[in-house]
């Protein structure tokens, strides 16, 4: 009798695994389909300088061409600079190097991003399964596959798609590194964190977070944690040092990240167009915010909390052309993911499986609140929100039974 139960139980687990695997493949296939369709068929007219590209897209394209044709790495300039970090410009330059400066290079870049965005669906699933359960990972993969801006941005020649891929790959390796004794996993985590930093430098501030969290949550030996973090830094240095050396040799300056300034000064008030020009935005910004906190404390605090959070998360950065209006119903996913994901962040106070994911979300949002708030800032956080939302949904339907949640929290 016990043997029969064991066989029956194994059969149920096997069938469940097949169902989850089949759904994951379906989500990835449909997600890839729409990403490829958008890469081929979504076009815009009369954007920056009358081209079909937005301001940042246009400048990245011109920069990539200059790298290939003139050997000059400079953003919005024919002279060398370090205004932006190198991962995405070099990614784009690779397509011009292989296929030339024609339209095919841009199409192949978009198609490659479609593939990377689809792989990110798998990475989200694996992270959700590792931390919580396969069901959580599957729900998170569904959200990531069909969240409209993630589909749209995979056809934009911007940093979001490449960054999300590198960050999720880093995060998956990072959470598995603590469960194994092999130090090379920490090295690899550092390498891919550096890749994410060289794509979007703001994540630099989050690099030590898992090791700080691990030390305080597990009360591990400081020496052991420090050794793991040291190996992590070594992996990051391998990728970061060539960029640092280039800046010293070419520009004569010690520049770890980039010279691009974040719009801190113009994010202090809602109507930033009314601010006078500044020669030192950081110093003038600090003086202004201190003045506003003294003279208009309620209004200023409201803007830096409710106001900016609404500006980032209230709407999604997404628009549809007429022949794809039938996809407009997918807009509802935005609010659903944000609301459920935010509940998951709150639950992480008690649910350790969500704690590290939630810390990445909260600290990222706090950093973003320092600058001009735009809906585009929400897009790289959606995969993490999706994992938290997946947990909340499973919690509500399963009442969080122990057998349903066998994740390996840090």
Q: How far apart are the first and last CA of the chain?
A: 38
Round to whole Å and give the CA distance between 171 and 364.
Answer: 15
Contact assessment for residue 35 and residue 114, using Cβ atoms and an 8 Å cutoff: yes
Question: So what's the pLDDT on residue 402?
Answer: 45
Task: Return the DSSP state at 276.
Answer: P
pTM, rounded to two decimals: 0.92
SS3 198: coil
Round to whole Å and give the CA distance between 288 and 349.
Answer: 35
Round to whole Å and give the CA distance between 386 and 168.
Answer: 12
Question: So what's the pLDDT on residue 322?
Answer: 64
**Residue 74: count of CB within 10 angstroms of its CB:** 18
Non-local CB neighbours of 272 within 8 Å, separated by 6+ positions: 263, 266, 372
Contact assessment for residue 154 and residue 38, using Cβ atoms and an 8 Å cutoff: yes
Question: So what's the pLDDT on residue 408?
Answer: 62
Q: Give the largest CA-CA distance in the chain.
A: 81
Round to whole Å and give the CA distance between 163 and 330.
Answer: 23
Contact assessment for residue 78 and residue 90, using Cβ atoms and an 8 Å cutoff: no
Round to whole Å and give the CA distance between 216 and 211.
Answer: 9
Question: So what's the pLDDT on residue 313?
Answer: 93
* Nearest residue to 387 via CA among 407, 364, 373, 372: 407
CA distance to 28, 150, 232, 334, 381, per residue, from 385 (Å): 19, 13, 25, 10, 6
pLDDT means per 10 residues in the chain (410 residues)?
A: 45 66 95 94 86 92 95 93 96 94 88 98 96 93 95 94 98 89 91 97 95 85 88 97 96 91 80 79 86 91 93 82 68 91 95 94 94 91 97 81 54
Question: So what's the pLDDT on residue 399?
Answer: 53
Contact assessment for residue 140 and residue 386, using Cβ atoms and an 8 Å cutoff: yes
Cβ neighbourhood burial of 280 (10 Å; 0-12, 13-18, 19+): exposed
* Nearest residue to 127 via CA among 159, 87, 164: 164
Question: So what's the pLDDT on residue 405?
Answer: 53
């Amino acid at each position: 009798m016990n043997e029969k139960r064991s066989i029956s139980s194994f059969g149920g687990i096997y069938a469940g695994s097949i169902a989850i695997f089949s759904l994951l493949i379906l989500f990835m296939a449909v997600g890839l389909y729409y990403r490829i369709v958008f890469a081929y068929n979504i076009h815009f007219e009369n954007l920056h300088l009358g081209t079909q590209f937005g301001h940042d897209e246009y400048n990245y394209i011109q920069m990539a061409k200059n790298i290939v044709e003139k050997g000059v790495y400079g953003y919005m300039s024919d002279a060398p600079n370090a205004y932006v970090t190198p991962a995405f410009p070099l990614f784009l330059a690779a397509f011009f190097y292989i296929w030339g400066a024609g339209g095919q290079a841009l199409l192949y870049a978009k198609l490659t991003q479609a593939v990377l965005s689809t792989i990110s669906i798998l990475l989200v699933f694996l992270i959700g399964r590792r931390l919580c359960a396969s069901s959580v990972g599957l729900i998170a993969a569904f959200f990531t596959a069909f969240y409209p801006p993630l589909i749209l941005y995979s056809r934009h020649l911007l940093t979001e798609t490449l960054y999300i891929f590198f960050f999720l790959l880093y995060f998956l390796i990072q959470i598995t590194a603590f469960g194994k004794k092999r130090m090379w996993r920490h090295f690899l985590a550092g390498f891919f964190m550096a890749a994410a930093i060289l794509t979007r430098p703001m994540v630099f501030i989050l690099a030590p977070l898992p090791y700080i969290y691990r030390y305080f949550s597990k009360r591990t030996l400081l020496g052991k944690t420090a050794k793991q973090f040291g190996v992590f830094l070594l992996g990051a240095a391998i990728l970061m040092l060539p960029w640092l050396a280039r800046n010293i040799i070419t520009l004569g300056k010690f520049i770890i990240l980039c010279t691009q300034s974040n719009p801190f000064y113009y994010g202090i008030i809602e109507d930033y167009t009314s601010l006078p020009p500044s020669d030192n935005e950081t110093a003038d910004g600090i003086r202004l915010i201190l003045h506003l906190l003294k003279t208009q404390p309620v209004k200023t605090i409201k803007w830096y909390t409710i106001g900016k959070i609404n500006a980032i998360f209230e709407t999604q950065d997404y628009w549809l052309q007429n022949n794809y209006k039938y996809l407009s119903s997918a807009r509802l996913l935005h609010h659903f993911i944000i609301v459920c994901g935010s509940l998951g962040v709150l639950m992480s106070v008690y649910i350790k499986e969500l704690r590290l994911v939630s810390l990445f979300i909260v600290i990222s949002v706090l950093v973003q609140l320092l600058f001009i708030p735009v809906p585009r800032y929400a897009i790289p956080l959606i995969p993490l929100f999706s994992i938290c939302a997946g947990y909340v949904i499973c919690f509500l339907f399963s009442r969080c039974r122990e057998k349903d949640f066998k994740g390996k929290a840090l």
